[in-house]
Amino acid sequence: MIRRTVTFFDERLHVSRFVRSSLDKVFPDHYAFLLGEIALYCFVVLVGTGIFLTFFFNASSTEVVYHGDYHPLVGATMSDAFRSTLDLSFSVRAGLVMRQVHHWAALVFIAAIVAHLCRVFFSGAFRKPRELNWMVGVTMLILAIFNGFSGYSLPDDLLSGTGLRIAFSIAQSIPLVGTWIAFLVFGGEFPSHRITGRLFVTHTLIVPALLVALISVHLAMVWRQKHTQFPGDGHREDTVEGPKLWPTYAMKSLGLFFATAAVLCLLGGLFQINPVWLYGPYHAAQVSSPAQPAWYMGWLEGALRLMPPWEIRAFGFEIPNPFFPAVLLAGVTFLGLYIWPFLEAWATGDRSVHHLLDRPRDHPFRSALGAGTLSFYAVLFFAASNDLVAKWLKVRVTIITALFRIAVFAVPAVVGFVTHRLLRALARSGAPRFSEMPRQALRKGFRPARPVDG
């Protein structure tokens, strides 16, 4: 059977040699290399559950009166989008589990991408010849965040409707073209009846198609360039070591797919997520409090909350306040990510090809910069809950905001400094890991550099 299939295709497409070398292809095995695969498998789950959801969801802002199975909202006016989300959750058998698995998969998808990005950053895997694939990855991160946002905006509930209102205000804040951008994207002044339909097409067709294309490019480049590996165990720049694709690696990777799907189903079944029926349908004059966005929007929400009440006004023109924490910060963040491989190569003068990875200590400055930057976004993320923190601590929210405004600069500085000194100490001590490093080596790390250390 296999023989006949191989012959059939080879006589038509000349594929035998390629397929054989592919089956024999060696993949380095390391748990940190699985993060990208987890993201990929989340995407597969997202597509599968998402297709199911499209069969029931109705992307329409037509006003209807609810007469469904969720009694507290019977008689309420709502958009057909919200009504169909309720029906999908309460009246379609297995609908709720599909919806919740989809939502959880989106949260884990972006988390896995960010973790994968961190692994690639801290191990220097973005260096030549992999700069292009780094940029493809950053593009996919942006698309994933965008699709997360557009997805949770679809049900037209009170929480996500407020999120869209903020998005409109952010678009509007762009100098010169902002009002036009906002009006063209939303189809008119907020709230436009067109936006739900547009979000639906973008969320279910345009962005997934782009992601499929970019995932293919991403994997093709890994295939072509072969995977990096960590130094040690006799690993060399000019070879690659590990199990072969067929059957060992394929078996393990399929196992990881099923494991990812299993965990997502457990989350979707047991842990309620985005209970839109508790928020209620969107009405422009209502708002839910406290209002928290999905985790991957937290840094932007936090930045909006921490920004002091400044804006630039001159000659009858202004740059509104949300421009700085939302548009500028997001722009700088992603631009910085895009150019980082080239920036580092320019700064270090290292333009050679690398297939062996760095350990974080091999490049204390890069690692410190990465850790500091991460902590900056982490502080912003927590600042998005400044009202909740204030409530728990029974302190006025203005005090919490003031503390966060200090922390957003102080924490990255401290984290960066400490990371740098710890890693330098570890590198100088030659110990294989922190737990085996002698204590005086730690002290040495914090002392000023001796001249020989350069």
Q: Which of residues 36-65 bind another protein (CB under 8 A)?
A: none
- Window contacting another protein (CB under 8 A); options: 148-156, 260-268, 273-281, 443-451: 260-268
How near is the Cβ of 196 to another protein at its closest, in Å? Answer: 15
Q: Which of residues 67-86 bind another protein (CB under 8 A)?
A: none
225 binds another protein (CB under 8 A): yes
Secondary structure E strands in 20-102: 63-65, 77-79
- Window contacting another protein (CB under 8 A); options: 114-122, 201-209, 241-249, 368-376: 241-249
Closer residue to another protein in complex, CB, 100/375: 100
Question: Is it true that the peptide bond before 191 is cis, omega within 30 degrees of 0?
Answer: yes
Which of residues 313, 433, 439, 450 is near another protein by CB under 8 A? 313
- Window contacting another protein (CB under 8 A); options: 6-14, 65-73, 110-118, 249-257: 249-257
Which of residues 11, 24, 350, 436 is near another protein by CB under 8 A? 24
- Window contacting another protein (CB under 8 A); options: 208-216, 306-314, 342-350, 440-448: 306-314
Residues with Cβ within 8 Å of residue 380, at least 6 apart in sequence: 298, 299, 300, 302, 303, 306, 408
Q: Which of residues 86-105 bind another protein (CB under 8 A)?
A: 93-94, 96-97, 100-101
Q: How far is CA 72 from CA 62, 69, 86, 142, 419, in A?
A: 21, 9, 12, 38, 53
Q: Which of residues 123-142 bind another protein (CB under 8 A)?
A: 129
Q: How far is CA 40 from CA 47, 165, 264, 368, in A?
A: 11, 31, 13, 29
Q: Which of residues 141-170 bind another protein (CB under 8 A)?
A: 162, 165-166, 168-170
- Nearest Cα neighbor of 412 from 380, 382, 371 is 371
Residues with Cβ within 8 Å of residue 207, at least 6 apart in sequence: 143, 146, 147, 150
Q: What gap in Å lies between CA 257 and CA 413, rounded to an integer?
A: 39
- Window contacting another protein (CB under 8 A); options: 5-13, 277-285, 372-380, 428-436: 277-285
Which of residues 226, 354, 421, 428 is near another protein by CB under 8 A? 226
Q: Which of residues 395-414 bind another protein (CB under 8 A)?
A: 397-398, 401
Query: What is the CA angle 399-403-409, rounded to 5?
Result: 155
322 binds another protein (CB under 8 A): yes
Residue whose token pair is 């592919």? 22
- Window contacting another protein (CB under 8 A); options: 149-157, 179-187, 357-365, 430-438: 179-187
End-to-end CA distance of the chain: 65
360 binds another protein (CB under 8 A): no
Per-residue burial over 69-98, b = 16 or more CB atoms within 10 Å of its CB, e = otherwise: eeeebeebebbbbbbbbbbbbeebeebbeb
Q: What gap in Å lies between CA 306 and CA 385, rounded to an integer?
A: 11
**Phi and psi of 209, rounded to 5°?**
-65, -45
Query: What is the CA angle 227-209-22, rounded to 5?
Result: 30
Which of residues 189, 350, 393, 406 is near another protein by CB under 8 A? 189
Which of residues 190, 377, 381, 382 is near another protein by CB under 8 A? 190
9 binds another protein (CB under 8 A): no
180 binds another protein (CB under 8 A): yes
Closer residue to another protein in complex, CB, 295/365: 295
26 binds another protein (CB under 8 A): yes
Closer residue to another protein in complex, CB, 259/449: 259
Q: What gap in Å lies between CA 230 and CA 65, rounded to an integer?
A: 60
- Nearest Cα neighbor of 233 from 29, 23, 26, 424 is 29
Q: Which of residues 337-356 bind another protein (CB under 8 A)?
A: 353, 355
How many residues at the interface with another protein, by CB under 8 A? 104
275 binds another protein (CB under 8 A): no
Q: Which of residues 411-430 bind another protein (CB under 8 A)?
A: none
Q: What gap in Å lies between CA 227 and CA 122, rounded to an integer?
A: 16
